[in-house]
Every structure is written in structure tokens, then in C-alpha cells.
Structure 1
Amino acid sequence: MGLREAKKERTREALIEAALRLFEEKGYERTTVAQIAAAAQLSTRTFFLHFPAKEDVLLADSAPRVELGVAALAERRPGEGPARALLRAIGAMVADASGKDLPSGVAAARTRLVATEPAVQARLLQRMATAQTALAEALHRAYPDELDAVSAAAVTGAAIGAVSSAAVAALRQGQTPEQVRAAMLRAPATAAAHLTE
């Protein structure tokens, strides 16, 4: 990472940390973008250079995380079937979340706020739909002879839904980042096993 990228990353982290602290202290609804920027000793303009809206602070790494998954699917390995490739892609995405969202507290804050804040819930659903579409299209491109577009969407939706639901349940139980990560990685296989019984 170059100096410019490192500075951008530090700025984003400062904004995220300030937002999480203010959401906890003042509540999500009563926290403004201007207050987040001021708490991070930055301008409101700088905030908007990094995030389009307040709720996006909670979803900061979602786009690059999806890109990781898409790239993993594009690197189809010899003899690897669609299910194994999708699990490998999800593993890359979970590893990224485990390194950022879980230890920083972003994942836990997002889980709490999705239950109470319609704006956060709407943005998360929008991001999830976009992510599932991108991953399903990448899976279909990697396996056009084995999965049609509808099947790729169904498989991807089931796997991503299982991972997301497991993460939310584990976070609500107050599990450690390591336990949440393990739950996320187990989720697709668990769901598949129970659906085929």
C-alpha cells in the first residue's frame, strides 16, 4: 500500500471509529454526519469523499469484499466443482470480514442497528442483493455448462443467506470473533445438510 492509499485507509478508519463511538453514545438517529466528521477531526466534505451516507460507515468494506469473492470464482481451479468454488470464494470473503469487521466492532454494531434502524436495514438489503447478483453471475460465468443463471442465483443466494444469518445469530449471542467466523464458514454446509435430509 502506497502512502496515499495508507492515508485514505487511516481516514476511513478514523471516520468508522468516530461513528461507532457516537452511535453508541448518542444513538444512531441522533448522530449526524457533521458530528462524525468533527469527532474524527475531519470535515464533512471529507466524510462524503469516503462514504455516500451515514449508514455506509457500517458497510465500508462490502464492495471490496464482493470483489474478492468474484475474483476467487474467476480463478476456477482444475477439478473444482461449483459448490467447492463458491465455498472457497465465501471463505475469502469471511477471512476479510474476520480481519476487519469482527475485531473492530462494525459487524456487531451493524447487527444491532439493522434490528432498529430502517435506513441501515434498507442499505444492507440493497448491498446484499447487489453482492448476491455479482457472485451469482461470476459463478455462472465460471460454470456455464453446469449451472444456468437461475441455478447459479439459487445456489449463491442460499449460501450467502446461510452465512449472513449465522453471523447475525452468533453476534446476537455475543460470541467471539473467532466463533462468529467459524459459524459463518460452517453455515453453507450446515444449511445444505439439513435441506437434503
Structure 2
Amino acid sequence: MSLRDRKRARTRQTLVDAATELFERNGYDETTIADIAAAADIGTRTFFGYFASKEELLFPESDARVQAAIEAITSRGPDDGPAEVLLRALHKVGDDNDDLAGRLAALRLRLIRTVPVVRGRSLQIQLDAQREIAGHLAAAFPERLDEVSAAALTGAFVGAVTGALQVLLDDPERLGDPAAVQAAVRRATDVALTPWLRASAHAAEPRPPHGTA
């Protein structure tokens, strides 16, 4: 990263940290963009060079997760199936950051439950991500997936992650432990994708020559 990019990344993270602190202390609705900008020591106009809205601060890594899935699809091996590449993307994101665990994750899940505008933004991000990932999957595996099955697979994958996190929200100690979150999410996705993983294993099995038992 260039010096300029590093400075932007630091300012972006400062905004996320400031918003997290203010949302927790004062409440989401009571916190303004001007409050967040002031806490991060930047101007309100500068804020919009980093985030389009207040709720965007709660989803700073959403693009990174989608990009990880696309990269996993693009760099797939010859024996990889669609479920395997999604699981690889999940593991990569989990290894690179703790966006699914910790303070911001817990705050985000609470606000999704209680603040309609945050819930709406979450659903929009989820739908956009599913549509983009499913499109790449269908294009990468045309002999195994059509648009409907690609959408179903992606929906099962995303739904498993979301479901695991919602369960952990009722157990703050585990939600604050990145290792526990990753273990729960991986268990949920393994359960959800088992039929697809079995199908991939079956497709990879060598078939006997025609005419033999």
C-alpha cells in the first residue's frame, strides 16, 4: 500500500472505532455523522469520502468478504467444487480479520435486531452479495450449476453464517472470542453445505469404463 492508501485506511478505521464507541455509549439514533466526524477529528464533508451513510460504518468489511469469495472462485483448482470454494473464502476472511467476532460484530448484530434502517441495510448488503457470488459461481461451474442452483447454494452458505452469528449474540462471551465464532460459523456452513460437498465428492469419483460393472 502507498503512504496515501495507508493514511486513508487509518482514517477509515478511526471512523469505525469512533462510531462504535458513540453508538454503544449514546445510542445509534442519537449519534450523528457530525458527532462521528468530530470524534475522528475530520470534517463532516470529509466523512462522505469514506462512507456513504451512518449505517455503512457497521459493515466495513462487506466488500472484502464478497471479493474473497470471487477470488476463491477465480483461483479454484481443477478438483474444486462450488461448495469448496465458498468454504475456502470463508476461512480466508476469518484468517485475515475478525469482522465476524468482537465488539463491532456484537454491536452490529444488536442493531440489526433493533434498528430498522440498520436491518434494512444488512438485508440489502446480503442480497447484493448473494446475487454477485451466485453469478460468479454459475459462470465458473456451468456444467454443475444453473442460476437457480447457484442462488440456492449461495443462500445456504450466507444463511448458515448469519444463523450462527445470531445464536452467538445470546452468548456474548463466545461472540467476543474470534476462535469460538470461527468454529461456530464453520460448523454451521459444514452442515448447510453437506449435500453440496457430497455431490462434489461423487462427481470427483472415477467412473468405470462403459460396459464394465
Report the TM-score, using the length of structure 1 for normalisation.
Answer: 0.92
Residue in structure 2 matched with residue 68 of structure 1 by the alignment: 68
Residue in structure 2 matched with residue 163 of structure 1 by the alignment: 161
Write the distance in 1 (CA, Å) between the matches of 2:132 and 2:165.
Answer: 21
Deviations 1:38-85 (A, max 9, x none): 011111111111000000000111112211111111112121122212
Q: What's the C-alpha RMSD, in Å, of the aligned pairs?
A: 1.7
Q: Does the 8 Å CA contact 1:66/1:93 hold for their aligned counterparts?
A: no
Deviations 1:105-142 (A, max 9, x none): 21111011111100100001000000111111111111
Q: Identify which range, 87-96 or 172-181, moves more after superposition.
A: 87-96
Residue in structure 2 matched with residue 47 of structure 1 by the alignment: 47
Unaligned 5+ runs, structure 1: none
Helix, strand or coil for the counterpart of 1:52? coil
Say yes or no: does 1:14 pair with 2:14: yes
Report how many aligned residue pairs link the two structures: 193
**Alignment-mate amino acid for residue 189 of structure 1:** D
Q: Identify the structure with the greater helix proportion.
A: 1
Question: Structure 1 runs of 4+ off > 6 angstroms?
Answer: none
Q: Does the 8 Å CA contact 2:153/2:193 hold for their aligned counterparts?
A: no
Larger Rg: 2
Q: Does the 8 Å CA contact 2:161/2:185 hold for their aligned counterparts?
A: yes
Distance 1:81 1:193, change over 3 A: closer
Deviations 1:126-182 (A, max 9, x none): 000001111111111111111111101001101111011102212331111210111
Correspondence list, 1:1-197, <5 A: 1-98=1-98, 100=99, 102-103=101-102, 105-174=103-172, 175=174, 176-192=177-193
Write the distance in 1 (CA, Å) between the matches of 2:129 and 2:13.
Answer: 23
Write the distance in 1 (CA, Å) between the matches of 2:96 and 2:104.
Answer: 13
Percent identical among aligned pairs is 44
Unaligned 5+ runs, structure 2: 199-213
Give the deviation of 1:192 after TM superposition.
4.4
